[in-house]
């Protein structure tokens, strides 16, 4: 099972929206996954296969040696779908 976490500054706004949309996309595609959300300060990226976040936090997380999907446009669900599925394909899931 794929383990995904969505991350933002406080863990309640952007990350919750990304979590909901990510869950829906994975469910639609039949990809079994656990999707959590977190704030950047509490994130333990070693517990996850993939971190989905915004440009603001992507560089901080990249240094932790984990798969990171940087999302620039939070309102475009098609963009998220395309980027998420491409990243999962790259990961070999």
What tens digit of pLDDT does each residue of 14-37 get? 889 999 999 999 999 999 999 999
Strand ranges inside 9-89, DSSP E: 33-39, 50-54, 67-71
The pLDDT of residue 82 is 96
Asked whether the predicted pLDDT for residue 93 surpasses 80, the reply is no
Domain 2-77 has CATH 3.40.50.2300: yes
Contact 16, 37 (CB under 8 A): yes
42-88: pLDDT as tens digits: 888 888 999 999 888 887 786 567 899 999 888 899 999 999 999 99
Grouping H, G, I as helix, E, B as strand and the rest as coil, residue 14 is: helix
The pLDDT of residue 33 is 97
Computed from CA positions of residues 31, 36, 50, 23, in that sequence, does the dihedral angle turn out positive or negative?
A: positive
Contact 62, 6 (CB under 8 A): no
């Amino acid at each position: 099972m794929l383990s995904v976490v969505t991350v933002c500054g406080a863990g309640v706004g952007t990350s919750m929206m990304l979590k909901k949309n990510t869950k829906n996309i994975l469910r639609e595609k039949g990809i079994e996954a656990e999707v959590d959300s977190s704030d950047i300060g509490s994130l333990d990226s070693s517990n996850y296969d993939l971190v989905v976040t915004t440009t603001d936090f992507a560089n901080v997380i990249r240094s932790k040696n984990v798969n990171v999907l940087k999302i620039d446009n939070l309102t475009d669900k098609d963009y998220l779908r395309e980027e998420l599925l491409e990243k999962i394909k790259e990961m070999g899931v």
